[in-house]
């Protein structure tokens, strides 16, 4: 029997004891299953995914669920974000154990794990493993919108220490309003679009001081205004978008439609 470890929120432990591990993970081609890793002689390598998984939140910390699978059980094995090979579970353990550096490798079981296959559940130290990617230690972290995790511990201080030239953090509102005023009347389109880009990263904003840009002669400025305010919770945003929905330029109208569709989509937790 091949032994693997599956890391999950401590809140899931009672359900796993009763019913096993649900096939909640998504593998290649969208298949559902369970991600795990072989139990190796090295404790650190066995639990290497712990800190990375902890970045995305867990209730009560993470626990290690030890799973026994039949040696002939077909699983997928490979490094994350790379093509994976379908092999028996025993072969997956052999391949990973033979690697000089198995960091970043994973095993995907293309089904749920049955209760009788759960060997034990135990607590695990919460500081083991790598974050971001296996070779990230010593590398300057990226603070772009695609890499950062909103609400992650320390993310605000990291963004303030290493601001991204395009993704912030944005300057204070008073600074941006000063740039809008300095752009003149009706205003330099390039300067206004840059200021609106930064305003779009905020949750609320000075709508009253920016509403006049809805009449700017450059449609690119009006389109940028749509994207800047569409996610704000500031009162009056809906009314401003209603007016821009009848804009004479098709790009502005399409931006309003797309922004409204985006805001109406259900969030995924």
Q: Kindly report, residue by residue over 10-62, the tens digit of the pLDDT.
A: 999 999 999 999 999 988 888 999 999 999 999 999 999 999 998 877 777 89
Would you say residue 224 lies in a domain?
yes
106 shares a domain with 146 = no
* pLDDT the model gives residue 149: 66
- Phi, psi for 64 (deg, rounded to 5): -100, 120
Residues 225, 244: Cα–Cα separation, whole Å: 9
178 shares a domain with 165 = no
Would you say residue 81 lies in a domain?
yes
C-alpha 227 chain-centroid distance? 21
183 shares a domain with 73 = no
* pLDDT the model gives residue 208: 96
If one compares 144 and 221, the residue with the highest pLDDT of the two is: 221
> CB 115: neighbour CB atoms within 10 A?
12
- Is residue 263 packed enough to be buried (19+ CB in 10 Å), middle (13-18) or exposed (0-12)? exposed
159 shares a domain with 94 = no
Kindly report the pTM of this predicted structure.
0.60
Residues 149, 166: Cα–Cα separation, whole Å: 16
Would you say residue 135 lies in a domain?
no
Indicate the pLDDT class of residue 268, thresholds 50, 70 and 90: very low
145 shares a domain with 180 = no
* DSSP 8-state assignment for residue 116: G
Would you say residue 134 lies in a domain?
no
9 shares a domain with 119 = yes
9 shares a domain with 116 = yes
In this predicted model, what pLDDT tens digit does every residue of 131-176 receive, in sequence order?
A: 878 988 778 777 777 676 666 667 778 888 888 877 778 899 999 9
200 shares a domain with 145 = no
Q: Going by DSSP bridges, is the β-strand pair 74-79/85-88 parallel, antiparallel, or unpaired?
A: antiparallel
Of 88, 123, 158, the last residue of a domain is 123
* pLDDT the model gives residue 98: 97
Of 95, 123, 151, the last residue of a domain is 123
- State the CATH number of the domain containing residue 119: 3.20.170.30
189 shares a domain with 81 = no
267 has a pLDDT exceeding 60: no
* pLDDT the model gives residue 169: 82
**Percent of the chain scored above 70 by pLDDT?**
94
- Is residue 42 packed enough to be buried (19+ CB in 10 Å), middle (13-18) or exposed (0-12)? exposed
Residue 153: which of 127, 172, 173, 135 has the closest Cα?
Answer: 127
Question: What sign results for the dihedral spanned by CA atoms 41, 79, 144, 213?
Answer: negative
User: Where are the alpha helices (H) located in the chain, listed in sequence order?
Assistant: 13-19, 43-46, 50-54, 89-97, 155-161, 173-182, 189-199, 207-210, 219-229, 237-244, 250-264
Name 133's bridge partners. Answer: none
In this predicted model, what pLDDT tens digit does every residue of 117-136 receive, in sequence order?
A: 999 999 988 889 998 789 88
C-alpha 191 chain-centroid distance? 31
> Residue 57, by phi and psi: left (phi above 0), alpha (psi -120 to 50) or beta?
left
Would you say residue 269 lies in a domain?
no
158 shares a domain with 81 = no
Of 132, 149, 169, the last residue of a domain is 169
Would you say residue 130 lies in a domain?
no
Q: Going by DSSP bridges, is the β-strand pair 118-123/2-9 parallel, antiparallel, or unpaired?
A: unpaired
If one compares 66 and 136, the residue with the highest pLDDT of the two is: 66
151 shares a domain with 175 = no
The boundaries of the domain holding residue 28 are 2-123
98 shares a domain with 88 = yes
If one compares 138 and 177, the residue with the highest pLDDT of the two is: 177
**Percent of the chain scored above 90 by pLDDT?**
71
Residues 234, 208: Cα–Cα separation, whole Å: 10
Which of helix, strand or coil describes residue 88? Answer: strand
The tally of domains found in the chain comes to 3
Would you say residue 101 lies in a domain?
yes
185 has a pLDDT exceeding 50: yes
């Amino acid at each position: 029997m091949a032994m693997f470890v599956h890391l999950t929120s401590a809140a899931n432990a009672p359900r796993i004891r009763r019913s096993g591990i649900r096939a909640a993970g998504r593998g290649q081609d969208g298949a559902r299953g369970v991600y795990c890793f072989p139990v190796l002689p090295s404790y650190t390598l066995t639990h290497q995914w712990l800190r990375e998984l902890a970045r995305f939140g867990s209730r009560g910390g993470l626990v290690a669920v030890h799973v026994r699978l039949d040696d002939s059980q077909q699983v997928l094995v490979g490094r994350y974000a790379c093509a994976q090979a379908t092999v028996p579970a025993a072969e997956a353990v052999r391949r990973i154990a033979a690697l000089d550096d198995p960091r970043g490798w994973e095993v995907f079981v293309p089904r749920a794990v049955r209760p009788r296959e759960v060997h034990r559940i135990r607590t695990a130290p919460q500081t083991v493993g790598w974050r971001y990617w296996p070779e990230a230690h010593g590398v300057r972290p990226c603070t772009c919108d695609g890499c950062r995790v909103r609400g992650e511990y320390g993310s605000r201080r990291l963004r303030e220490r290493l601001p991204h030239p395009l993704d912030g953090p944005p300057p204070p509102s008073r600074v941006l309003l000063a740039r809008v005023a300095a752009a003149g009347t009706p205003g330099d389109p390039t300067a206004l679009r840059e200021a609106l880009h930064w305003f779009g990263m905020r949750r609320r904003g000075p709508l009253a001081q920016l509403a006049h840009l809805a009449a700017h002669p450059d449609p690119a400025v009006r389109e940028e205004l749509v994207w800047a305010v569409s996610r704000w919770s500031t009162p009056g945003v809906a009314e401003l978008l209603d007016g821009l929905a009848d804009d004479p330029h098709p790009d502005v109208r399409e931006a309003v439609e797309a922004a409204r569709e985006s805001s109406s989509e259900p969030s995924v937790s």
